[in-house]
């Protein structure tokens, strides 16, 4: 069975898009190839990695990647997690069967101790709902 390809996209690819990639691998890696990218990449946030690890979600192979790496590639779904990336998608030269826009606040910009945990919970909740709509 060929895995469906899913790209999580945000501005920096340092927090919530990495969470989406790691979560989908953890939840349904047998059915999906999960990747992530950023419009203007930055190094991954240590709080991103520690939040994932504290939830038992593997973080190996997670790294910030540029959207340019995926130019001319096809994805079954692109899940955009912030408004800035949503605007940039209009100019991207990749393609996808499905584009989803989940406006999830960037935990890097929230000054609360639980911001990363809340972002992870929101992404998990939306992924669970989305996975229910996907044919097995």
| pLDDT for res 11 | 81
Is the whole model's pTM more than 0.85, yes or no?
yes
Give me the number of domains the chain comprises.
1
| pLDDT for res 88 | 61
Of 112, 117, 74, which Cα lies nearest the Cα of 92? 74
**Which residues constitute the domain of residue 53?**
4-133
> What's the CATH code of the domain at 18?
3.40.50.2300
Please check whether residue 32 is in contact with residue 136, taking contact to mean a CB–CB distance below 8 angstroms.
no
Quick one: 121 exposed, middle or buried, by C-beta within 10 A (0-12, 13-18, 19+)? middle
Q: What is the pLDDT of residues 41-60, one digit of tens each?
A: 666 678 899 999 999 999 99
Beta strands 4-10 and 32-38 are: parallel
| pLDDT for res 7 | 95
Q: What is the pLDDT of residues 88-123, one digit of tens each?
A: 665 666 788 998 999 888 887 788 889 999 999 999
Element (H, E) at 128: helix 115-133
| pLDDT for res 27 | 96
């Amino acid at each position: 069975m060929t895995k469906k390809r899913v790209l999580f996209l945000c501005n920096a690819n340092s927090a919530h898009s990495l969470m989406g990639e790691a979560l989908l691998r953890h939840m349904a890696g047998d059915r999906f190839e999960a990747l992530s990218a950023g419009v203007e990449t930055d190094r991954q946030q240590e709080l991103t990695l520690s939040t994932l690890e504290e939830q038992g979600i593997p973080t190996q192979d997670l790294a910030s990647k540029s959207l340019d790496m995926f130019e001319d590639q096809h994805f079954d779904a692109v899940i955009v997690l912030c408004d800035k990336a949503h605007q940039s998608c209009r100019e991207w030269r990749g393609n996808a069967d499905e584009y989803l826009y989940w406006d999830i606040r960037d935990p890097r910009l929230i000054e609360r101790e639980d911001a990363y945990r809340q972002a992870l919970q929101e992404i998990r909740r939306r992924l669970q709902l989305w996975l229910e709509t996907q044919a097995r």
